[in-house]
């Protein structure tokens, strides 16, 4: 048996340490990893827990991120609880194998510390890697601070391993701003955390020699489509399990999570939709604007996948103007949050005004003052009854103002 670790009621952990403690408390059997900035400490700490007897597990050193996820797939198919961590270029090299993991319905947990993608090379946080995973078939949960990185990593095991889900799960946090900022974190005891996650239940594991199975079969045009549709349905249906796991976690800890997080949305007239650490910045700005009489609110998709088409619609259908903030350069299109939020809101009666900001690329700071400016711009849209600026704009960008497309409504 692994040694127990004595934890204080309140620990001072950064996002990386919080995530690694969750891997330890879940007693992950195998971590196959190729460490990369800024997620390195997650697997480094897991290695230390193994070496010091705090987890009965294996730390497998491999030669690339492609190999890291391949090792995870082998260990998960064999029948173990498996996790790893990556960022940025490592995530990109892992992508081919991410699709293999989800296609084989293996409940691997990947802690992703979001970082910009080269070129030009950059180690700071943006959401380029997270967005690149959006069609990979994984559940993608986003943590906005260190406490959430801890809580949601524990929840990730329980969600992915549920017999009605059996899908891999990513838990995202922002590079440096979350991963390297020490904050107060309230951990569970080792026993409470493990009991919440539960003993790993294998499914069709390869090490059961009486039930020989093939993983990774080939299917052509006569079978592939049916398998992919079934996988898509499993990811769609995971919404109910995510809700249930979040409810159980609230019962245990008092901390509440929702697939769509709403802040000041009951009577909001204008809103920002964002992911990651910018959510807390926007909430702070909304609070200040409330004092100035602007009914500002913030909506954050806790789950990037499965995307809460239903929850987003419910949260935003009564606002007048909403700005969707994308921290990934969409390169020749509108941002992903803009596209998905617009699609959801198009099916409502009132069809709020939706505009798009690209922001924070390569770790560019996103300030409270800038969030307030964006809120006030939404208020101007709302008062005018139409979008008064280009639909897509860039926040915090030096040089001449950059924007694309004008509205055809209300002019």
Q: What are phi and psi of 122, to 5 degrees?
A: -160, 135
The residue within the footprint of another protein, chosen from 8, 9, 207, 211 (CB under 8 A), is: 211
Which is nearer to another protein, 105 or 283 (by Cβ)?
105
369 binds another protein (CB under 8 A): no
**Least distance from another protein to the Cβ atom of residue 193, Å:** 28
Q: Candidates 51-59, 98-106, 264-272, 335-343: pick the segment binding another protein (CB under 8 A).
A: 98-106
Q: Please state, as a whole number, how many other Cβ atoms lie within 10 Å of the Cβ of residue 403.
A: 15
CB under 8 A, 24+ apart: contacts of 216-220: 216/100, 216/104
CA-nearest of 292, 262, 267, 296 to 381 is 296
- Identify the residue among 9, 63, 222, 267 touching another protein (CB under 8 A): 222
Nearer to another protein, 221 or 266 (CB): 221
What is the spatial distance between Cα 322 and Cα 362, in angstroms, rounded to a whole number? 24
Instruction: Pick between residue 46 and residue 157 the one whose CB is nearest to another protein.
Output: 157
User: For residues 154-173, which are near another protein according to CB under 8 A?
Assistant: 166
Q: Which stretch binds another protein (CB under 8 A): 111-119, 214-222, 268-276, 339-347?
A: 214-222
Identify which of residues 217 and 333 has a Cβ nearer to another protein in the complex.
Answer: 217
Whole-angstrom distance, CA of residue 274 vs CA of residue 174:
13
Which among 147, 163, 112 has a CA at the least distance from the CA of 305? 112
Range in contact with another protein (rule: CB under 8 A) among 87-95, 104-112, 149-157, 313-321: 104-112
First to last CA, the chain: 70
By C-beta, is 234 or 308 nearer to another protein? 234
Sort residue 315 into left (φ over 0), alpha (ψ -120 to 50) or beta: alpha
Under rule CB under 8 A, residue 85 binds another protein: no
Q: Return the structure tokens found at 399.
A: 């040089």
**Is 219 an interacting residue with respect to another protein (CB under 8 A)?**
yes
Q: Do residues 137 and 235 lie in contact, with contact meaning Cβ atoms separated by under 8 Å?
A: yes
Residue choice 12, 118, 229, 369 for contact with another protein (CB under 8 A): 229
Contact between 107 and another protein per CB under 8 A: no
Query: Longest C-alpha distance within the chain, in Å?
Result: 71
Comparing CB distances to another protein, the nearer of 33 and 165 is: 165
Question: Would you tell me how many other CB atoms lie within 10 Å of the CB of residue 89?
Answer: 18
Q: What is the DSSP string of 123-178?
A: -S--SHHHHHTTTSS-EEEE-SSHHHHHHHHHHHHHHHHSTTT---EEEEEETTTT
Give the nearer residue to another protein in terms of CB position, either 8 or 214: 214
Q: Which is nearer to another protein, 216 or 254 (CB)?
A: 216
Which of 6, 199, 214, 398 touches another protein by CB under 8 A? 214
Question: Pattern of binders to another protein over 180-209, x per CB under 8 A?
Answer: -----------------------xx----x
Binding site residues, another protein, CB under 8 A? 103-106, 166, 203-204, 209-217, 219, 222-223, 225-227, 229-231, 233-234
């Amino acid at each position: 048996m692994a040694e127990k670790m004595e934890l204080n009621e309140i620990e001072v952990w950064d996002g990386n340490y919080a995530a690694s403690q969750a891997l330890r408390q879940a007693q992950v059997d195998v971590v196959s990893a190729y460490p990369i900035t800024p997620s390195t400490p997650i697997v480094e700490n897991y290695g230390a827990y193994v070496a010091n007897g705090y987890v009965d597990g294996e730390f497998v050193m491999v030669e690339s991120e492609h190999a890291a996820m391949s090792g995870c797939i082998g260990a998960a198919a064999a029948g173990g609880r498996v996790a790893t961590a990556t960022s940025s270029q490592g995530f990109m090299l892992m992508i081919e194998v991410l699709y293999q993991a989800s296609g084989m319905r293996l409940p691997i947990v990947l802690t992703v510390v979001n970082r910009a993608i080269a070129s030009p090379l950059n180690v700071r946080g943006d959401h380029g890697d997270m967005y690149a995973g959006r069609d990979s078939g994984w559940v993608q949960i986003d943590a906005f601070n260190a406490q959430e990185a801890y809580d949601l990593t524990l929840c990730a095991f329980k969600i992915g391993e549920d017999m009605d889900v059996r899908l891999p799960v990513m838990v995202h946090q922002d590079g440096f701003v979350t991963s390297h900022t020490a904050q107060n974190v309230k951990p569970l005891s080792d026993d409470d955390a493990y009991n919440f996650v539960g003993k790993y239940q294998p499914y069709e594991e390869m090490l059961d020699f009486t039930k020989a199975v093939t993983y990774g079969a080939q299917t052509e045009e006569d079978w592939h489509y049916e398998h992919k549709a079934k996988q898509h349905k499993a990811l769609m249906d995971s919404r109910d399990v995510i809700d249930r796991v979040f409810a159980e976690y609230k019962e245990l800890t008092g901390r509440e999570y929702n697939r769509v997080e709403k802040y000041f949305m009951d009577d909001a007239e204008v809103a920002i939709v964002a992911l990651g650490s910018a959510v807390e910045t926007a909430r702070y700005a909304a609070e200040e604007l409330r004092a100035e009489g602007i009914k500002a609110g913030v909506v954050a998709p806790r789950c990037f996948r499965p995307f809460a088409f239903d929850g987003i619609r419910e949260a935003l259908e009564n606002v007048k103007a909403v700005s969707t903030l994308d921290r990934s350069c969409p390169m020749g299109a509108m941002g992903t949050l803009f596209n998905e939020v617009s699609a959801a809101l198009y099916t409502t009666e009132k069809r709020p005004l939706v505009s798009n900001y690209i922001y924070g690329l390569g770790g560019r700071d996103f300030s409270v003052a800038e969030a307030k400016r964006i809120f006030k711009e939404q208020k101007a849209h709302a008062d005018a009854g139409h979008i008064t600026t280009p639909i897509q704009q860039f926040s915090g960008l030096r040089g001449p103002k950059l924007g694309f497309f004008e509205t055809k409504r209300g002019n």
